[in-house]
Amino acid sequence: MSSVLILNILWQISILAMVTIGLGIVFGQLKIMNMAHGELVMIGAYAPVITASLGLPAVLQVPVCIITVGIVALILERTIIRHLYGRPFDSLLATWGVSILLREIVELLFGRGYQSVSSPLPGTMSVLGTDYPAYRIVVIIGVFAFFAILIAWYRRSAIGTEIKAMVENCELAHACGINTSRLSSLCFVFGALTAGIAGMVLAPTIRIEPMMGLDYLIRSFFSLVVGGLGSVEGLMLGVGIIGGLQSALGAAFDQTYGYLGILLLSIFFLWLRPNGIYSSR
Amino acid sequence: MAFIVLVNAALLAVLLAIPFLFDSYIVYQIGLYLIYGIAAQGIGYLWGRIGILPLGQAMFFGLSAYATARILLHFDSLSLQLILLAGVMLVAGLTAFLFASVVFKGRSDSGPFFSLITLALVIISEQVAGTATAITGGFNGLSGYNTLAGIDQFGGLYLMIVGAVIFSTVVLMSFDRVPFGLVGRAMADNEQRLQLLGFPTHIIKGAAFAVSAVFAALAGILFANHQGIVTPTSTGFLLSANLVIWTAVGGRYHVLGPLLGAVLIGYLSSELRDSFQYWEVLLAILFIVVVLKAPGGLGELVDKSVSRLLVTKKATAKRVFHDAPPGRIGNWQSAVQFNDVHVKIGPVKILNGVQFTTFPKGILCIIGPNGAGKTSLFNAITGGLRVSRGEINVDGKSISNRSPHQALRSGIGRKLQVPSVFHSLRVWENLCLSMLAGRGRIPDYFKPSSFHWQSRALQQFLSVPHIPLADRSDELVSSLAQGHRQFLEFAMTIAAEPRILLLDEPCAGLSTDETQLMTRVIKQYQTANDGLIVLIEHDMSIVKSIADQVLVLHQGKVLANGTYDEIKSNDSVRDVYAGGTK
């Protein structure tokens, strides 16, 4: 295996992990199957485009991304998601509608065509004996650092405990004085923001278009299927397997085979290990 | 029957009037949306009746359209073409059946995963269609073939489409009037109960998915003839998404709803998409509103206003019953043998080596403090819990770690702790499902006469005075009191005449009179059936009145067994109940 392939796989895995964590939080903790998760990635990816069209300097794309995705997520939570906590099937339907709506709005604003943005960190770095885009290296390191901090924080902080209590028994947590409705919306917005940031980070390396979100939704869902819900270990394992398999098959044959590979693997898992590798129970 | 004929005659009249009212281009367009409507009817059936939402139905539609184009390109003989096209529908149905029954095996929900996998499938089929140029012609698509029997795309083909629409409508409406449709509605309501009644729900879901796939395939075949070209978009994500939107807005609970949605919304879309730029956004908002506020869609609206216009008297006909065919429960010896049974959930040990053999006939009561593993023992028997070590045998055969639906086949019926019945169905429909359990063969599910089955055990039960079900058969179960649901579930469990009857606290929530009635019918069933009844009970007075033998469970093990008096004087049992930790 060449070192470029290894780095490519690492890149795919870290992006996928960043997308999947949000879907996992919202699905695992709030029992909301957010079909619009991919569209939040897509909106995040448009953040640099929005920044440019507003005439703002490129540095501001991070706050622009957070504000845009945050507002969209907050509106969604207040108007739609709020009524659907704990109802995975109904949430699937409603967010499916939301995903269509978001795509159509973005298409209306920016057109159906491809957009591209330039990398904030052009140039390459020499890693593992090959030259690799410096931007991707930074992102890989950044994502892993983010996960390390998130895990440490979730284990120690009071909010982490409150979330666990809410997931375990929402009514009791509410009775114990935890503001579950604020906590839920916090969870949802946080999940959305991670998706948005994943999209923004991804933006310089892909063609940005309104339909791009679907692909990320499916791959991150498959990662959850394979890895199992409810633990970061499971998530990383799932992301590793799905991201790795797709990149490897994609490199060896072509993208369609990579896609077919992960699809078959996921069906196989649903059939034989419906709770994934790392099931929470 | 008369209703189906009436509705379809009206539908036929409307559809046949269209060519006389509009010019040929509009008729052509309406034909296209009627084709989509057939596929949407398949989605409506699967989503509204069974509770499964397929997001990738265009896959069956598009792949069938490709296959049709290929068949029309390569074969000239009409009979051969027709045979091959029938084969296309068959293949679509079989594939769908296999796929869904594999994915749903071992599950008792229709969670979001199935929808997402179908979504992935349609995306991948669009990709494959775009890249496998040798077979599909790539992005240019397949064209240059003649229509089936040289039918005129702007003339005769419309009649063919109308025929197909009537066909799909008649089939789907008939499903509502035979037990097959009832089983589908029961599945959307309470899959666990259906499994305990011995229905292999993954097979039923497979069959339902196959039905919807066949409709999509039929639509695809017509589409290829109608358009004269098949491109990757016909098997794509956008078409799938539109089909779901049309179904939702048109109304998924009504057979004609999706058809209405497809023609109305589809036609409006094609008119407005280019002139009114906010149309797609508006449609997405409409979809969200329908999903959240009006799940019945346009179909329900129309249905309600029609029934308001035509006030019909509800005739409650006297139900006639005839003897149900004999059950297919084998002549199993009914003693249950627990051989060192261990059950773990995660790190928690639930059962720690239960070692016991019941008698083959009589009433065995299981008692024990909360958390002793009583209900888990039942779960291990019916297959809801994995036995990690040891095994459970009936008649010398291991029955542990099977699917719940296999329990009834070896003569085991089970009543759950919290009454598990079909809340959205009527009492007689609940009883009817339990009559089909273990008796119905596939053809029976498509005959209305199977609705009238009644077994000896059920007849005997219903004729007991004061049973609170006999005069409520037309009521919805959701309006029954909790105690009455206990009797209903008991009736449903014994209807199949199991040799081994597992009852989990059947008297919970019953009044004193009702408790007496319940113990009487339990005894009566045992006498008539001469089998084994295992009963979990906390109330010692009930245990005393009913038990031939008592088994005490404590911390996942057998603590003691014997007659009521032996148990009552057993020191270790007293210790446990008096708060000791032994």
Contact at CB, B117 and A107, closer than 8 angstroms: no
**Distances B258 to A223, B248, B298 between C-alpha atoms, Å:** 34, 7, 9
Question: Distance between CA B264 and CA B282 in Å, rounded?
Answer: 15
Chain B residues whose CB is inside 8 A of the A213 CB are none
Q: What is the pLDDT of residue B582?
A: 43
pLDDT confidence of B348, banded at 50, 70, 90? Answer: confident
- The alpha-carbon gap from B341 to the nearest alpha carbon of chain A, in Å, equals 21
Q: What is the pLDDT of residue B138?
A: 87
Positive or negative: CA dihedral A224, A225, A227, A228: positive
% pLDDT > 90, chain B: 32
pLDDT confidence of A139, banded at 50, 70, 90? Answer: very high
Mean pLDDT of chain B: 88
**Each residue of A98-130: pLDDT tens digit?**
999 999 999 999 888 888 888 888 888 888 788
Over 60: is that where the pLDDT of B313 sits? no
% pLDDT > 70, chain B: 97
Residue among B392, B525, B384 nearest B461 (CA): B525
CA angle B133, B37, B171 (to 5 degrees): 110
Q: Which of B115, B124, B284 sits opposite A259 (nearest CB)?
A: B124
Question: Distance between CA B493 and CA B15 in Å, rounded?
Answer: 48
Instruction: Compute the average pLDDT of residues A201-205.
Output: 92
Q: Which of B53, B102, B117 sits opposite A266 (nearest CB)?
A: B117
Contact at CB, A270 and B127, closer than 8 angstroms: no
Question: Distance between CA A129 and CA B19 in Å, rounded?
Answer: 72
Interface membership of B113 toward A (CB under 8 Å): yes
Residue among A271, A39, A51, A25 nearest A167 (CA): A25
pLDDT confidence of B271, banded at 50, 70, 90? Answer: confident
Query: Domain extents for chain B?
Result: 35-267, 360-371+411-577
**Distances A176 to A143, A186, A187 between C-alpha atoms, Å:** 35, 18, 19
Instruction: Compute the average pLDDT of residues B180-196.
Output: 89
Q: What is the pLDDT of residue B579?
A: 63
Contact at CB, B281 and A88, closer than 8 angstroms: no
pLDDT confidence of B206, banded at 50, 70, 90? Answer: very high
Chain A residues whose CB is inside 8 A of the B237 CB are 211, 214
**Each residue of B455-513: pLDDT tens digit?**
888 888 888 888 878 778 888 888 888 888 889 999 999 888 888 999 998 888 888 88
- The alpha-carbon gap from B288 to the nearest alpha carbon of chain A, in Å, equals 5
End-to-end CA distance of chain B: 66
Q: What is the pLDDT of residue A55?
A: 87
Size of interface A-B (CB pairs under 8 A): 96
User: Cβ distance A241 to A265 under 8 Å?
Assistant: yes
Residue among A4, A23, A12, A44 nearest A201 (CA): A44
Both tokens of residue A203?
């933006």
For B557, list phi and psi in degrees, rounded to 5: -135, 160
User: Parallel, antiparallel, or unpaired: how do β-strands B500-504 and B532-536 relate?
Assistant: parallel
Domain annotation for chain A: domains and CATH numbers = 3-272 (1.10.3470)
Interface membership of B347 toward A (CB under 8 Å): no
* Least confident stretch, A61-65, B307-311, B380-384, B555-559: B307-311
**Each residue of B62-121: pLDDT tens digit?**
999 999 999 999 998 999 999 999 999 999 999 999 999 988 887 777 777 888 889 888
Cβ neighbourhood burial of B228 (10 Å; 0-12, 13-18, 19+): middle
User: Cβ distance A188 to A26 under 8 Å?
Assistant: yes
B360-371+411-577: in CATH 1.10.510.10: no
Interface membership of B123 toward A (CB under 8 Å): yes
Over 60: is that where the pLDDT of A56 sits? yes
Residue among B443, B52, B41 nearest B209 (CA): B52
Question: Distance between CA B26 and CA B218 in Å, rounded?
Answer: 22
For B199, list phi and psi in degrees, rounded to 5: -85, 125
Interface membership of B107 toward A (CB under 8 Å): yes
**Each residue of B8-40: pLDDT tens digit?**
999 999 999 999 999 888 999 999 999 999 999
* Chain A interface mutation, best of B46, B59, B101, B117, highest count of A Cβ atoms under 10 Å: B117
Instruction: Compute the average pLDDT of residues B396-413.
Output: 85
Question: Distance between CA B54 and CA B118 in Å, rounded?
Answer: 6
Interface membership of B111 toward A (CB under 8 Å): yes
Residue among B222, B243, B214 nearest B60 (CA): B214
**Each residue of B221-246: pLDDT tens digit?**
999 999 999 999 999 888 998 999 99
pLDDT confidence of A1, banded at 50, 70, 90? Answer: low
Both tokens of residue B498?
């199991």
- The alpha-carbon gap from A221 to the nearest alpha carbon of chain B, in Å, equals 8
Contact at CB, A270 and B110, closer than 8 angstroms: no
Report helix, strand or coil for B25: helix
- The alpha-carbon gap from A266 to the nearest alpha carbon of chain B, in Å, equals 8
Over 70: is that where the pLDDT of A281 sits? no
Non-local CB neighbours of B289 within 8 Å, separated by 6+ positions: none
Instruction: Compute the average pLDDT of residues B344-362.
Output: 85
Per-residue DSSP letter, B498 = -
Task: Please give the order of strands across the beta sheet that includes B557-562.
Answer: B412-415, B500-504, B532-536, B362-367, B549-554, B557-562
Question: Distance between CA A230 and CA A84 in Å, rounded?
Answer: 20
Interface membership of B98 toward A (CB under 8 Å): no
Residue among B338, B312, B463 nearest B400 (CA): B338
**Distances B150 to A175, B78, B147, B218, B223 between C-alpha atoms, Å:** 72, 10, 5, 18, 15
Chain A residues whose CB is inside 8 A of the B283 CB are 100
Question: Distance between CA B428 and CA B469 in Å, rounded?
Answer: 9
